[in-house]
Every structure is written in structure tokens, then in C-alpha cells.
A and B are shown apart, each in its own frame.
Chain A
């Protein structure tokens, strides 16, 4: 087995769907390097956390504490990277439970997710793997 820890075997009733936008048929987003900007934004009322990792150890997370959107940059050598994007939306009690998230890389929209934390649940979440070609 490939799994390194016991899975629950299901998504726990999560309904969040991460939709990839500016990608090709193999879920590859192409951008110019070496300087690459990663932009995270959420316009919902839930407490949303996004984490993005690349296979070289690059990591970004949202929120970063300041401003409505978070733009973080890094330098990447030209090649195809494997990446993982996780979005967690947590219902914020009296404030709200909607999420409307977007991730951009190099100005292109990598992925979006929108909706509400399901009734009776505290959280909704999803993780997807993608590829990033840096030219």
C-alpha cells in the first residue's frame, strides 16, 4: 500500500470542490519563471485556510495576517513541479460559513472553490494535486 497513515476511507461528507481553471488536460498550469507569484484570496465569511506545497519543499499558506489578499513570491527553476493545494473552510459561528476562494499563480487562475460549510458540520475541506510548469 502506498498510504502512510490510516485513511478514513472517505471524505467525511465534505462537499467542497476545488475547480482548476487555467490548466491543461493533465492539470498543468504553465507560468514564466524564475520569479513566480502565488496569490490567495477568499471573499467568503467562513474562516478559510489554504495551504499550497510544491515537491521541492516550497510552501505557502493563507491567511498571512495583512490585507484582503495574500501575494507571496518565490524563485523557481524551470521544470514541472508536483503541487498540492488544500482548502479548509471553518464555520465562524455568528459571522458566517460561506467560502469563495481563489488561487492564482503567475497571474493565472490555478483553482477556485465556492460554497458553504454544510449544515450540521463545522468544516468543509478538500485537497487536490496539480502540476506547475515553470518556463
Chain B
């Protein structure tokens, strides 16, 4: 309730300080994102309409939809070859986690996407299409949640070592039973046990109720006499046959916890590169021309500084982006270049962050991107998952573009993802 009241008050503040003729507060609050991360964002297609290609069947369906202008709704595809089931392109987890193979990790985080969508403007139907290549990866191998899940199951250093010890104990229980049987069968240590006994022991290890072969059945009473010794060992914890599926489940839960814990690290060092291009053209008309929705190129780097600091750097260039308001008249294009840097200080487990940021806002250039702060200090407070209260104070361009002035702004932002894409 307290949060809701605060939220209502702040929303009121935001509304009170906004004017229709003025830029919105959101325009001033500079985002360090890369802009469009995938093709569907350029053609304004909801992410739920994007199919993630994994198998040859997915690919066949996608090819069937390509270029289908009669499709009522838009569609999109995304393909991360390194994570697909196409063996020739896929990256194994072992290679992905190998520090000596950074290219394998980069390939495992490279996504190609394509999307197309309709737009009705001025009584004319248009078809928009776009493609994008996105490479987004953790710069330190150990901070990657996928690698963290694998490192967790390393016996010597991983957090799941106790489960591995239980697995070894379970194997030891089966082998002790087998060794006892071998003695009862009066086989020497150089003798082989028959396959039927080996298979019966395997069934025991797997929890299968397999009838013992005759050679074992005859010895079961004697084997039972040996049980007290085994049970003593079981009580001491040195030997314990456990449900193998339960052990696998526990191991998986432990590895998954390591993965989600790694995802929670707020200042992991990451790099993102995006290259994308969009087009638009009328769906009918022989002389219909394709117009550019822009060529987008972006680089975003996040560098963690110990536990408390994060340095962000974003460079973004949009070339020849069509102003959709001019679509039905004389098409007008704009070019945008954005460079920004931010340092954020925070403490693990706390929801409040202090930050300082600068951008390349040019005095006198009247574009939306130049409404951002030139320099600012600020505080971000996480109200709830993906819900942020932002405060900024700094130098920003005046609305007429004639000079710089001091501004203080407060905003509430819904941001389900961090500034950098985390697909892991």
C-alpha cells in the first residue's frame, strides 16, 4: 500500500510537470539501451509473434511464411544457430564454457532475426520488414549464468559437490553389494562376473525391480547375512543407495540455483552489438518504392567494477530513418548519432543506485534524442521487479534548443529487462 501511494503521488507529479507542447519527461531520461535489439522491434511487432527456430521443422514453417504478404498478422523469426539443434552450427556446452574458446561463446549468443508487419496509413496498406543481428554476451566467462550452472557441478569447486558426494555414495553401495556377491560366488579378483549379474546390479542402481538371475537368487540368503555390515556402513553415511532420479533432480535444482544466482548479479560485465535494417513499401502498386526505416548500428558495453560499480558506454547510430509522419507526403529521413556513458554505484542486495551520466547532446540541435541530459546526477530506486523510480538533476537543452539549463526530473519506468539483454 505504501508503495502504491508513493507511486500515485509520483505519477501525479509527473503528470503535473508535463505539457503537451513540451517534450515528455521520458524524453529527457536517457536510456543506455542499444535501441532495437531485434527485427520485430523495428516493425513494431509484438515479441509473442516471433518464433524461435530450434529444429528443422521450425525452419520449414518459417520458410513457408516468408514473404507471405497476404498474412493478416505480422510474423517474425529469431534464430540463434549456436543454441539450435542443428549439429553443424550448434555450440556444445563444453566449448561454450571453455575460457580458451571465446568465439564459441560469442557464436552461442549471436541471434539473427527477421520480422514483417502491416501498417495502414492514409488509406494505404504498407508492409514493413526488417532484419537484425544481435550479439550479446558476458565478457567474463564465469559471470555467464550458463557457465555458472556448469561450474556448479564441478566436484572440486562447485556448489553442488554435496550432491555429487551422494551420487558417489550411491555407486559405492551398488559396488559393495557386487563385491560381496563376487566373494560369495567364490570368484577370485581376476575372475569376471557373468553379464547377468552385472545387469542385475545395474538394475539395482537404477531402482528397477528386476528379478535376480539364478546365480544370484541362490546366494540371496547369504547376501542377506552380509547386510548388517552394509547397513552399518549406511548408517555411517559412507554408503547409501539413493533414488537415482531424485539425485538427478537435486543436482538439477542445485545447478539451476547457480544459474539464477548468476543472473541476479547486477553489475556483470557484458557487451552487446546490434546491426539492423528496416524497410517499408505499399502492399500494392507496380511502382511502389521501398523506403528505409533506418539502418541501425549500436554498441553497448557494461563493465562491472568490483561489487559496487558499473560503467556503461553506449554508441548508437541510426542512418536514414523514415519519419512515419511524412509517409503519405514527401518522405523525410533523419540520421541520429548517440554516445553516452554512465557510472552507477550500488550495493548488492540494495534497491537504490546512485549514478552520474553524460551524453553527446548538442546545444541547438532540435531532435528527440538531443532532449537527453548532457550531464546529470541521479538516483534509481527499484520499487518492484521491473518497476523503477528515477530521479535526475543536471544540464539539459532548453526546449527551443538555444541554450543549456539545469533541470530536475522524476520518473517512473517499467523496465522488465536490464539495460542489456540477458537471454541466459
A residues contacting B by CB (< 8 A) are: 1-12, 14, 24-28, 41-49, 51, 53-55, 57, 59, 61, 63-69, 78-80, 82-84, 86, 88, 90-96, 98, 100, 116, 122-131, 133
Contacts and interface: CB of A to CB of B under 8 A. Distances in A.
A51 B167 contact: yes
Contact of A47 (B83, B150, B176, B249): B150
B202 A46 contact: no
Contacts of B246: 8
Contacts of A44: 92-93
Contacts of A55: 175-176, 178-179
A26 B193 contact: yes
B248 A125 contact: yes
Given A2-B223, A11-B208, A129-B201, A82 B92 contact: no
Contacts of B190: 78-80, 133
Nearest to A49: B153
B108 interface: yes
Interface in B175-216: 175-179, 182, 189-195, 198-199, 201-202, 204-209
B231 interface: yes
Interface stretch (B233-241, B274-282, B283-291, B304-312): B233-241
B336 interface: no
Nearest to B95: A68
**Which are the 7 A-B pairs with shortest beta-carbon distances?**
A7-B207, A12-B245, A84-B171, A53-B171, A127-B205, A125-B248, A129-B201
B409 interface: no
B53 interface: no
A13 B248 CA distance: 13
Contacts of A130: 198
A57 B206 CA distance: 20
B39 interface: no
A4 B167 contact: no
Contacts of A69: 94
B195 A5 contact: no
A98 B243 contact: no
A78 B85 CA distance: 43
B72 interface: no
Given A42-B93, A48-B93, A86-B171, A8 B207 contact: yes
A28 B248 contact: no
Nearest to A5: B241
Given A61-B164, A130-B198, A2 B150 contact: no
B227 to A, nearest CB: 8
Interface stretch (B122-130, B154-162, B389-397): B154-162
A41 to B, nearest CB: 7
Interface string B245-270: 11111011001100100000000000
A4 B168 contact: no
A49 B164 contact: yes
A17 B168 CA distance: 20
B367 interface: no
Interface string B84-97: 01000011111111
Given A80-B191, A92-B146, A125-B244, A2 B177 contact: yes
A57 B95 CA distance: 31
B192 A80 contact: yes
Contacts of A133: 190, 192
A26 B194 contact: yes
Given A63-B154, A129-B178, A129-B205, A8 B243 contact: yes
Given A88-B251, A94-B83, A123-B249, A4 B231 contact: yes
A96 B201 contact: no
B59 interface: no
A92 B192 contact: no
Nearest to A52: B171
Given A45-B90, A82-B201, 11 more contacts: A2-B177, A7-B208, A26-B198, A65-B156, A67-B98, A80-B189, A80-B191, A96-B93, A122-B249, A129-B205, A133-B190
Nearest to A51: B167
B175 A27 contact: no
Give the one of B83, B99, B175, B242 with max A CB within 10 A. B175
Contact of A53 (B172, B192, B245): B172
B1 interface: no
